Chain A
């Protein structure tokens, strides 16, 4: 699979790069827990972080004029273990200059078809709003708590109200992961775009409809494989999102992190217009080998590492 990926990108003149796994700063996302370690740089001791994704380093390369780049690397997320999660996993991440989201979605579909050729894949490009409505009957862009509660009860998920309360974002996560994902089955590459702005992460907002973000996910057989963004280039907006996430971490009592000033400086100096995506390669391998659990495609999962 690795050699096929390298062939795919070589044919498209995308440069393979390598960036540090051990970083001075990490993402601020309150949903991602990281591993940290101590660097003994006498007389100081610095905290370093194992990357949760190579995004920041790769954006710094893009801002420095690297052009189209891809990377295959390890990423680490603390506390994530399960049938589809191992705390250490392999990411394929790539960035394409002047690609908008439809162009990147098309390339993702081509890559999956190239890597899993024994299956005849159908490609479905649908909006978050339409698949959400299809599975739940709800509009994800208009939050009406009573309707959401009613739907959850109807779908046998009465506990949702106690878990999600008034948190719109949590409701969307809950219903998407419990109801919508399970509806995205078959030999289909599902490309779901137009995520609600509340779930925008590092994507920019749609210029015509600011309720949605320029973000998509690729899912196969109900399993999320990757997240793609039309990347945010505005350093000011990026810093505001960092600050909001740092404040959220603080209010939730999570370990404090610092903003990646080097990323902000890179954005200030100018990130070219680009789209990028990260794909979980272990999960792609699960699909290729019809594995039910991520342990089956790892030589030594973390518990046995």
Chain B
């Protein structure tokens, strides 16, 4: 794997730190008036998602992490693993529950997700920014309520629970922003 010097540090660079793959968020060059320069770096651990700050002596090198993002189609869950496929090569990957994490509540078969692979095995799954899912359970709403005020919880086909306006009914398809977990609109069939 590639070796990176601190002067190649920039946002998005993937490096190995304490045996974990990490992504650089921010790199600050720090130098006292006369003396040794340092790079103060904000880093996200891609395994745990935690953000830490770490200092390197300028000129030092670190090992790069073999981390790539690939678009894949979600196929199915066999109870233990979640299976994905690269659409043009039909290569398949299976992700563990820790890699799927919070994304699991947005995964619908056939949807295209981003899989982050580390040494060719899934590290994390990012669902599409917007998903369209049908409502399996919600309280009956009031006819004529078209305003946004209030709302009610609704359970979706994947198990996720979002707040929806009162007029939305069971069986309807809605569009949800997976980054905020918020209802966007109804989807016309």
The answer on a CB contact under 8 Å between B33 and A227 is yes
User: Which of A163, A170, A178, A217 has a CB less than 8 Å from the CB of B33?
Assistant: A217
Residues in chain B near residue A79, CB distance under 8 A = 7, 58
Q: A176 interface residue, CB < 8 Å from B?
A: yes
Residues in chain B near residue A177, CB distance under 8 A = 30-32, 35, 38
Question: Please, how many angstroms separate the alpha-carbon atoms of A174 and B56 in the complex?
Answer: 10
| Residues of A166-182 contacting chain B, CB below 8 A | 169-170, 172-174, 176-178, 181
Residues in chain B near residue A157, CB distance under 8 A = 55
The answer on a CB contact under 8 Å between B57 and A83 is no
Question: Please, how many angstroms separate the alpha-carbon atoms of A215 and B100 in the complex?
Answer: 57
The answer on a CB contact under 8 Å between B55 and A160 is yes
**Smallest Cβ distance from B112 to chain A, in angstroms?**
36
The answer on a CB contact under 8 Å between B32 and A85 is no
The answer on a CB contact under 8 Å between B36 and A80 is no
Chain A, interface size category, equals 20 to 34
Q: B152 interface residue, CB < 8 Å from A?
A: no
User: Which of A156, A181, A199 has a CB less than 8 Å from the CB of B34?
Assistant: A199
**Residue in chain B with minimal CB distance to A84:** B29
Q: A29 interface residue, CB < 8 Å from B?
A: yes
Q: A82 interface residue, CB < 8 Å from B?
A: yes
Q: B37 interface residue, CB < 8 Å from A?
A: yes
Using known A-B contacts A82-B28, A159-B55, determine if residue A178 contacts B40 with beta carbons closer than 8 Å.
yes
Q: How many A-B residue pairs have CB under 8 A?
A: 66
User: Which of B29, B31, B54 has a CB less than 8 Å from the CB of A159?
Assistant: B54
**Smallest Cβ distance from B51 to chain A, in angstroms?**
13
| Residues of B35-94 contacting chain A, CB below 8 A | 35-38, 40, 53-58, 60
User: Which of A80, A160, A201 has a CB less than 8 Å from the CB of B31?
Assistant: A80
0 or 1 for each of B125-138: is its CB under 8 Å from A? (1 = yes): 00000000000000
Question: Please, how many angstroms separate the alpha-carbon atoms of A84 and B32 in the complex?
Answer: 11
Chain B, interface size category, equals 20 to 34
The answer on a CB contact under 8 Å between B35 and A82 is no
**Smallest Cβ distance from A201 to chain B, in angstroms?**
5
The answer on a CB contact under 8 Å between B33 and A174 is no
The answer on a CB contact under 8 Å between A29 and B34 is yes
Residues in chain B near residue A84, CB distance under 8 A = 29
| Residues of B97-145 contacting chain A, CB below 8 A | none
The answer on a CB contact under 8 Å between A199 and B35 is yes
Residues in chain B near residue A163, CB distance under 8 A = 38, 55-57, 60
**Residue in chain B with minimal CB distance to A218:** B33
| Residues of A25-77 contacting chain B, CB below 8 A | 29, 31
The answer on a CB contact under 8 Å between B54 and A169 is no
| Residue of A172, A173, A224 contacting most chain B CB atoms (<10 Å) | A173
| Residues of A80-102 contacting chain B, CB below 8 A | 80-85
Which residues of chain B have a CB within 8 Å of any CB of chain A?
7, 27-38, 40, 53-58, 60
Which residues of chain A have a CB within 8 Å of any CB of chain B?
29, 31, 79-85, 156-157, 159-160, 163, 169-170, 172-174, 176-178, 181, 199, 201, 217, 224, 226-227
**Pairs of residues from A and B, 3 with the lowest C-beta to C-beta distance, nearest first:** A82-B29, A173-B35, A173-B36
